[in-house]
């Protein structure tokens, strides 16, 4: 299956946003946010940015809100870094899949330990 243009754009945006968050953003609310995925619409006008934050629920939501408020800054930076005619509107959303996977793994380990005793 050929690599779709949206896949390339998603990858580029994900990599650049991750660099921006790690190196440029000084907001302490953002903490250890990681861009896990970017999903652009077919017309490349909108992009949903999935972010994983290793923190409790309240801190994670605060981090996502801080990123959401900085959308204009991120779009401006992406426009200067990427060779794109139009940079999509960004919408940040929390990606809790890693936390869910870790919780399931912990529960499975606990169940195995109970079965041994």
Rg for the chain (alpha carbons), in Å? 17
The CATH number assigned to the domain holding 41 equals 3.30.300.20
> In the chain, how many domains are there?
1
Q: What is the rounded CA–CA span in Å between residue 50 and residue 94?
A: 6
| Per-residue pLDDT, 31 | 76
10-residue averages of pLDDT along the chain (117 residues) = 76 95 87 90 93 87 94 94 91 83 80 82
pTM: 0.80
Structural tokens at position 101: 């996977």
**Domain range spanning residue 81?**
5-116
Please count the other Cβ atoms lying within 10 Å of the Cβ belonging to residue 102: 11
């Amino acid at each position: 299956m050929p690599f779709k243009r949206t896949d390339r754009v998603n990858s580029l945006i994900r990599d650049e946003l991750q660099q921006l968050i790690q190196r440029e953003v000084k907001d302490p609310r953002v903490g250890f946010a990681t861009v896990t995925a970017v999903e652009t619409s077919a017309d490349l006008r909108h992009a949903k940015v999935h972010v994983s934050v290793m923190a409790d629920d309240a801190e994670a939501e605060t981090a996502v809100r801080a990123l959401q408020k900085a959308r204009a800054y991120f779009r401006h930076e992406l426009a200067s870094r990427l060779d794109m005619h139009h940079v999509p509107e960004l919408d940040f959303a929390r990606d809790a899949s890693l936390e869910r996977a870790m919780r399931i793994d912990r529960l499975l380990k606990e169940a195995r330990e109970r079965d041994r005793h």
